[in-house]
Amino acid sequence: MALARTSLRAWDEDGGPSMNTAPDEAELRLIHAAIPGRARFHLARLKGNGQLGQQLLADLPGRMIEHVSANPITGNILIFFDPDVPLDRIERLLRQSLRESTKAPSPKVGIAANRAEAWHALPVTNVLARLDTTEAGLSGTEGLRRLARHGPNRLGELHGRSAEEILLGQFRSLPVALLGASALLSLATGGLADAIVIAGVIGLNAEIGYVSESRAERTITALTKGSPQFATVIRDGSGREIPLDDIVPGDILELAAGTLVPADARLIATDGLSIGEALLTGESLPIEKSADRLLPPDCPLAERTNMVFRGTLVTGGAGRAVVVATGRMSEIGRIQSMIGAVEPQQTPLQHQLARLGRELVGISLAACGAVFALGMVRGHGMLPMLRVAVSLAVAAVPEGLPTLATTTLALGIDSLRRKGILIRALPAVEGLSTIQIICFDKTGTLTLNRMEVARIITPQGDFRMTGPHVLRMEGDVGTAIDPGEQQDLVQLLELCALCNDAELNEGGTEQEVTGSSTETALLQAALRSGLDVAALRARRPRLSASQRSENRRYMTTRHGLETGATLRAVKGNPEDVLALCRWTLADSERRPLDAAERRRIEAENQALGQAAMRVLGVASALDEGELAWAGMVAMMDPVRSDAARVMTRFHEAGIGTVIVTGDQAATAAAIADELGLSNGITPQGALARNGIATLPPNGPGMIADHVFSRVTPAQKLQIIETLRRAGLVVAMVGDGINDAPSLRAADIGIALGGGTDAARQTADVILLTDELEGLVTAIENGRATYDNIRRAIAYLLATNLSEIMLMLVSVASGIGQPLTPVQLLWLNLVTDVLPAIGLALEPPAAGLMQRPPRDAQEPIVSRADYGTLGRDAAIITGTALAGGLSATLRHGAGVRSGAVGFASLIAAQLLYALPYRAARPAGQKSENGRDYLPGALMLSGTAAAAALFLPGLRRLCGGPIDLIDSGIALAAGGAAMALGSGGGEKLR
């Protein structure tokens, strides 16, 4: 679909009203505190005041308060706290924080960044001095003192929904409220049985929804990953392990490969240190870190190479760092604060059912008033007519509506769960059908978030590695080869396996390699090509190694050979390695490396770099001889195998796709090009972070480029909110902590099962298998579910309108009350509901994913639809009246003719379900091979027969009827179906 060009507001760090006036005590009020350990307040002054919100996020969390979210849109403050702490104490802390904010506003913190201390811009000595610490670390006593002052190094928990919240959520809809009102009306007018039945319907609806949603929450909880509980720090001059919670600002961290960074810290020493920051910044490649580099104060988070951040992974080397921020003041803590400040979005179905409920209230009141007035005009008693009016009010509200929607959505959740797609809440099933644009994080979402060797260029050939195959390229044409027969390829891979710190675990397969992502990829490429790496390393044992550093961008290892000579292997930055070489290796022969060959290699390196690949040059020499160039290895984070196919499916379905990543512009543009999203853009055309930050509030937008690179979590959130303000229904797909605020802000948030706990806890949909193809399945299911619910609701409304019409015509014509309250309930809860559920379980209509998404603002039943439904209801009413009048001619007015009229209405309503079926290919059934509607009609018909023929039920639902009467009723139903206006066809 063509994306609207819309303006992107720059993230406003200075926005909000002045905070120079003292808060009125009455300005802060408690809204809700029913759940222990949780309270919601409203502060009028918070509305539009993002700075005040961030002040509260920074000031409040501590030992008693676990998590705070402040929403400047609604003015609400949500606080999670220790349940043992009295609520009034929490309120006092909040008021104290508000009073302090008027005296001396603290530096801006939170969503954008904490600018109070630009640690990356300070020399190490200054950092240590400001934190009052040394490289020998804090003393044990000082560590305890700082722990008391700063609080534990703990992130606020991302709370899933509690059982109470899930249960209460089942009652928060207008249709359910209408049912409750109907029960109260029935009870007030003596209809105890009616009230009990309606209450039972409400309870059944709640149970179905609760079971489905609580199962989803349990699955999400089971996916939660455990985190390390201890970290190595230097205290009293020596290294020791301490609990993660006890780390404080000023502690000196020892960083080792394979460990997670426990707190934000400024590096003070590095030895080949590299950090994987993909889940925090979106950068796909490990970042090489250096302690000596000084950076500008406004340097983006992804470019702070002298800093390490909590939750990131040490992928190689070692280092020491001084802690500068812990717990909620860390970058991850700030992102979690953003999550709490964003309100979850309601789905279109929730809005539409509420709108439909309001319309039904109007219809109900109008019908009640009309019947009551007509009855009084015709001289009927007030009390009897009041009871008739109440019965009609019950009839006007389709009692089966909440159960229909809940059952259909619950079955949709169960169907998707079996396919590896977890839906967190019932309405999200249908919400998938309205998605107009999907924003994808790149690293770990569109890509696998692991390095793989993609190209190898030797002096003799150009090779591509695609899965288990190696292709020798001639231009754009590749020929599969046996890598063992390519001497120059084998030679280069052997050097990559030797000059490599990755380790083979027992077994020696590529799945059992541990090391940095780059070196693991090199070793896996060698294993995939058939090299026996363990035997190679045994034959050529390592004698020494020199690791790469900031000023020496290559690694060198020396290995003993069987001849007694020494092999020197070098790998690293291609420019640096090439500069060291005087020779080139071709078929194991050394040839002089002339200027033309150097220019060719430099051009190839530049081309690979522009394609967003990480390139390493490889060379070797014997003893201390001059180095010979062996070739280049290019690696990349590969795109998921199904990603391009999925993008095509989305575009066919009229859904726009956008990449929003913290990675570099060149990488983002290359991925967009591979997936067919580029629209001809270059790396320079991919909108970078600074482009977003400097867009004027009302200036032209850059959305049409489809690619946003180098964005922070706050800017991702800004993009999502801008798209939503432009009127688009937005989905966000991500897996990292940096994606979590955007997942919460999007209309539908979609996380990968293998992603972070934060992403899963904030998402509406979780792809448990991490396969993007599942998202196509989910959207198709959502579209089918909405179509079926809409068709089933239309059927319910048509049948309910027929009951209202029958009552109006009968009272107006002097026939009297044709239906008792029990009969009305029977029609609404037994006769109508089962066929409606059968309609709701119809298989998808043809061409669901070849049409654009529906308009989320379109009502579930439009004014034009009401015209169609009125005509359908009139046909059902007319045939039922005809059946009743035929029985009156045969039996005279009385209970028996009333029973025949009741039976005629049942038959007409049941058979009228058939025109409402979806258009579908001949013979297509539901995914489990069943066709539910015929079974539903048979079950409802059987129940109707029981109500008309079994003595116990017959007394409740009508008098006895014979075979001729049954024939009249069936004839009425057949006539209704034959005269049907095709309401279902018009509603498709």
Residues annotated catalytic, as ranges: 441
In this structure, what are the phi and psi dihedrals at residue 79, rounded to the nearest 5 degrees? -125, 125
For residue 928, what are its two tokens?
């489990």
Rounded Cα gap, residues 764 and 729, in angstroms: 14
DSSP state of 156: P
Question: Which candidate, 359, 340, 417, places its Cα nearest to that of 156?
Answer: 340
For residue 741, what are its two tokens?
């605020």
Rounded Cα gap, residues 800 and 873, in angstroms: 8
SS3 473: strand
Amino acid at 240: R
Neighbouring C-beta atoms of residue 903, cutoff 10 Å: 28
For residue 761, what are its two tokens?
């806890």
Burial of residue 21 (CB within 10 Å: 0-12, 13-18, 19+) is exposed
Amino acid at 551: N
Neighbouring C-beta atoms of residue 257, cutoff 10 Å: 18
Rounded Cα gap, residues 317 and 273, in angstroms: 4
Question: Which candidate, 846, 183, 143, 789, places its Cα nearest to that of 431?
Answer: 789
- Which positions ≥6 away from 576 have C-beta within 8 Å? 552, 553, 554, 617
What is 672-701 written as a DSSP string? Answer: HHHHT--TT--GGGSBPHHHHHT--TTS--
End-to-end Cα spacing for the chain: 22
- Which positions ≥6 away from 11 have C-beta within 8 Å? 111, 112, 693, 714, 715, 718
CA atoms 818, 824, 827, 830: torsion sign: negative
Rounded Cα gap, residues 72 and 365, in angstroms: 39
For residue 951, what are its two tokens?
């003595």
For residue 819, what are its two tokens?
């239906």
Cβ–Cβ < 8 Å for 819, 807: yes
Rounded Cα gap, residues 2 and 816, in angstroms: 59
> What radius of gyration do the chain's Cα atoms show?
35
Element (H, E) at 574: helix 574-580
Token pair 């979402």: residue? 445
How far is CA 273 from each of CA 236, 259, 296, 645, rounded to the nearest angstrom? 25, 12, 21, 38
